[in-house]
Every structure is written in structure tokens, then in C-alpha cells.
Amino acid sequence: MIEFAQQLVNGLSLGAIYALIALGYTMVYGIIKLINFAHGDVMMVGAYVGFFSITLLGTNILAAMLVAMLFCAILGVIIEKVAYRPLRNSTRIAALITAIGVSLFLEYITIFILGPAQKVFPSSAFPITEYHIAGISILNKNIFVFISAVVLMLILQYIIKWTKTGKAMRAVSLDMEAAVLMGISVDKTISITFAIGSALAAAAGVMVGVYYNTINPLMGIIPGLKAFVAAVLGGIGIIPGAMVGGFVMGLLETMVSGYGNSMYRDAVAFGVLILILLIKPTGLFGKNTGEKV
């Protein structure tokens, strides 16, 4: 029981990270029907910006997260403008291949500039404390990751549900042409979607730095894929689905590592993808509309 509770604690913070990344996938898919495979790499860039914010600018971890979010919001907007917008009316496969190109570009430009070696996330920025509660060990970094992710998700929910911008985002993703007839600027709304999604990924990147202690230029690939699976699991395009999917993936991964063999944890993630595509391709929260991912 204690062992289970322990895995739960670990899984929740990992799941929160996956959920944050999955949100970006799902929001972008919801609005332009593109699987943005560069999204995990935006997370990586966020981790580096956070790293340099701490080491060069001397900021604390929260400020580093904000700097990373701002930087990646702009990066996301630029990526959309330069790489995806010119292809908006072409085939989906063209945009998908472009996304893979952007992904490789971000990975190798980072290697080119900073080198391939991993960097150790400065522990001074986040001294680790361990708490013992009822026999469970809880690290302050787990609490930090979980709480900041939940706060960000609540802010996102607020924006989407209650603000004019959020409603416009929903309108555009439901019916782009009808949204245009309301006077909503589709370009602007898509830019905002990329900005928000990329900012969330950046926050997740800094969290990954805190959680795993090291960052490297290819660190976005596996968490990016797992977050993608999380988004599909929840039903791609569905925001609450991405959150739930993220937590499920995080918990599943820690349970597999804790009870089974940690060698299998990545295999399990993709097993989930195969299963969901076989059983319910629209995901846990999806309606069966016949739309295939």
C-alpha cells in the first residue's frame, strides 16, 4: 500500500509534465488539424532557456520558468508563421513532414550552438528537501512540479472557458469559416494558440530539468512522443482529455517502473497508443465521429 502511494506521488508529478506538453499538441491539433511533431523540441528549448536564465541571469526557478515561457511563446508563433502558415491550404501530410523538419531543425541547431553533451540543471536553483509523510517520501520537487503544472492548467482552463480570446479559439477550432464570419481573425487566433501551447511546453521543459536534473538537445523526443500518446489517449483536440491522458501516462510509467521493470516503461507508452488506436481511435473523451488520427 505504501509502495503504491509512493508510486502515485511520483506518477502525479511526471503525469503533470506530460499533461502540460500534451495540451500543446491537442490545442494545435484542435485548431489546424496538425500533429506538431516539433512540440517536444519546443519543450527542450524551454528547458535550455530556463537553464540559462538561472545560470547566466541568476534568476530563481519561477522567474526562469516565466522567461522560458515567454521565449517559447514567441518561438512557437514564429514557427507557425514561417513553417506552417504557408502550408495551411496544402495537404496534411505536407504539414506533418514540415513539422518533422522543424523538430530536427530545433534539435540540431541546439546541438550546433551548445554541443550535444547534457547539462546539469543547477541544483542551487532548487535545493532538494525530502519530506516523510506516513511512510511515503515526498520530494519538494515533486510538489513543485505538480502544483505549478496544476496552476498553469487552471489558468489555461480559465482562458479557454471565460475569456473572449479563449472563446474565439474554441470557435475557430469548431468551425473556421463561421468564425471568420463573426469577424474573428483566424491568423491571430492560431498565433495565440501556438503561443499558449509553446509556453506550456516551456514550463514543462523547466520542470523536466528540475525533475531529472539534466537536460540535453534530444530530451524532447521521448517525453514529446509520450505526451502525444497522452493527447491521443484523451482524444486529440480535446483539452480535458489531454490533461487526463497526461496523468494516466505518468502514473502508468511510474507503476510499470515501480512494480515491473523500468526497461519496459517506454514500450508500455507505445503499447497504449497501439491499444487506443485499435479500440477507440477517438480517445477516452472523443465522440466517434469517424475522424481518424
Partner 1 sequence: MLAVKEIDVYYGAIHALKNLSLDVEQGSIVTLIGANGAGKTTALKTISGILRPSSGAVLYKGKDITKTAPENIVALGISQVPEGRRVFQTMSVLENLEMGAYLRSNKKEIQKDMENVFARFPRLKERRKQEAGTLSGGEQQMLAIGRALMAQPELLLMDEPSMGLAPLLVKEIFDIIKDINSRGTTILLVEQNANMALSIADKAYVIETGEIVLEGSAEQLLKSEEVKKAYLGG
Joined together, the cell numbers standing for residue 105 give 531543425
Q: Are 18 and 227 in contact (CB under 8 A)?
A: yes
Three cell numbers written together for 137: 517520501
Considering beta carbons, is residue 45 or 184 the nearer one to partner 1? 184
In this chain, which of 63, 171, 221, 225 binds partner 1, going by CB under 8 A? 171
Least distance to partner 1 from the beta carbon of 119, Å? 44
Stretch that binds partner 1, among 23-31, 111-119, 183-191, 257-265 (CB under 8 A): 183-191
Stretch that binds partner 1, among 20-28, 44-52, 69-77, 166-174 (CB under 8 A): 166-174
Stretch that binds partner 1, among 14-22, 82-90, 173-181, 249-257 (CB under 8 A): 173-181
Residue with smaller CB distance to partner 1, 13 or 173: 173
Q: Output the smallest distance, CB 174 to partner 1, in A.
A: 5
Work out whether 175 is an interface residue with partner 1 (CB under 8 A). yes
The nearest distance, CB 124 to partner 1, in angstroms, is 47
DSSP string, 87-139: GTTS-HHHHHHHHHHHHHHHHHHHHHHH-SS-EEPPGGGS---EEEETTEEEE
Contact 46, 68 (CB under 8 A): yes
Give the nearer residue to partner 1 in terms of CB position, either 120 or 182: 182
| Contact predicate 103/38, CB 8 Å | yes
User: CB of 21 within 8 A of CB of 223?
Assistant: yes
- Binding segment (CB under 8 A) for partner 1, from list 6-14, 160-168, 194-202, 228-236: 160-168
For residue 61, what is its C-alpha cell?
526557478
Distance CA 113, CA 226 (A): 27
CA 48 to chain centre: 15
Give yes or no for a contact between 274 and 281, defined as CB atoms under 8 angstroms apart: no
Question: Contact between 183 and partner 1 (CB under 8 A)?
Answer: yes
Query: Which residues sit at the interface with partner 1, rule CB under 8 A?
Result: 164, 167-168, 170-171, 174-175, 177-185
